C-alpha cells in the first residue's frame, strides 16, 4: 500500500493524506466505510494535500450519489494516488484487531460485538481465533448461549481482546 514514485517527507500534509487514505482503503475493503461517506473522505484527502482528478471529482459528489459510481470513483482515486486496495481478508483481519482495541479501550461493550459478521473466516493467528470465537453471531446467540454466565464471557472476551491487541502486528499494516 505504498504510493508510487517518491515518498513525501513524513511531516508533510501529503504524507498524512496518503496514510489516511490508505487506512480508509483498508476500512473500505473491510466494509467499515459506507459508500455515502466516500465523498467526504475524498474532501478530507484533498484538504490533507492529495490532489488527483478523480479525488477532486468525488469530493464534489453528494452523499446520495449512485453507490456503484461512488465505489468506482473511489477506487480510481486510490489508483491515481498510488494506493492499492488490500486483500479483503487482510482488511477484515485488521478490522478484527480494531474491534478488539475498541473493546479493550472501553469504547464498546461486549454485547455490542454481536453481529452477523463471520470473523472466524479471516482469523489466522491464535489470538485472532480466540477473540473471534467469543464473538456471538447475533443478539439471539448472545441470549441463548450466554444467558447464565455473561460476566464470565465478558471477562474472557476482554482478555482475548487484550491478547490480540498486544500480539505481533499484521503485515502489511493498514
**pLDDT, tens digit, for every residue of 118-128?**
666 677 889 99
The pTM for the full model equals 0.75
Task: Indicate whether 144 pLDDT > 70.
Answer: no
- Distance, in Å, from the CA atom of 133 to the CA atom of 114, rounded to the nearest integer, reads 12
**pLDDT, tens digit, for every residue of 63-115?**
899 999 999 999 999 999 999 998 888 898 999 999 999 999 999 988 788 77
- Distance, in Å, from the CA atom of 150 to the CA atom of 58, rounded to the nearest integer, reads 45
- Distance, in Å, from the CA atom of 66 to the CA atom of 35, rounded to the nearest integer, reads 9
The helix (H) or strand (E) run that includes residue 40 is helix 38-47
Q: What are phi and psi of 133, to 5 degrees?
A: -60, -30
Task: Indicate whether 14 pLDDT > 80.
Answer: no
What is the model's pLDDT at position 12?
Answer: 33
Residue linked to cell 489508483: 79
For residue 8, name the pLDDT band (cuts at 50, 70, 90): very low
Task: Indicate whether 15 pLDDT > 50.
Answer: no
For residue 9, name the pLDDT band (cuts at 50, 70, 90): very low
**pLDDT, tens digit, for every residue of 18-72?**
557 888 999 999 988 999 999 999 999 999 888 899 999 999 999 899 999 999 9
What is the model's pLDDT at position 11?
Answer: 36
Higher per-residue confidence, 6 vs 115: 115
Nearest to residue 18, comparing CAs of 60, 50, 44? Answer: 50
Residue linked to cell 488490500: 86
For residue 4, name the pLDDT band (cuts at 50, 70, 90): very low
Answer for the pair 34, 70: CB distance below 8 angstroms, yes or no.
no
Q: Which three cell numbers stand for residue 82?
A: 498510488
- Distance, in Å, from the CA atom of 110 to the CA atom of 52, rounded to the nearest integer, reads 41
Amino acid at each position: 500500500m505504498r504510493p508510487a514514485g517518491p515518498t513525501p517527507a513524513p511531516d508533510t500534509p501529503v504524507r498524512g493524506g496518503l496514510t489516511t487514505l490508505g487506512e480508509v482503503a483498508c476500512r473500505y475493503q473491510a466494509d467499515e466505510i459506507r459508500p455515502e461517506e466516500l465523498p467526504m473522505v475524498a474532501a478530507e484527502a484533498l484538504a490533507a494535500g492529495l490532489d488527483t482528478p478523480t479525488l477532486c471529482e468525488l469530493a464534489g459528489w453528494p452523499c446520495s450519489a449512485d453507490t456503484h459510481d461512488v465505489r468506482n470513483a473511489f477506487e480510481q482515486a486510490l489508483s491515481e494516488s498510488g494506493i492499492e486496495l488490500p486483500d479483503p481478508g487482510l482488511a477484515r483481519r485488521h478490522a478484527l484487531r480494531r474491534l478488539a482495541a475498541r473493546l479493550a479501550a472501553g469504547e464498546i461493550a461486549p454485547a455490542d460485538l454481536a453481529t452477523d459478521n463471520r470473523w472466524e473466516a479471516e482469523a489466522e493467528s491464535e489470538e485472532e481465533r480466540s477473540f473471534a470465537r467469543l464473538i456471538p453471531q447475533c443478539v439471539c446467540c448472545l441470549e441463548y448461549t450466554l444467558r447464565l454466565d455473561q460476566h464470565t464471557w465478558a471477562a474472557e472476551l476482554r482478555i482475548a481482546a487484550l491478547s490480540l491487541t498486544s500480539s505481533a502486528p499484521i503485515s502489511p499494516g493498514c
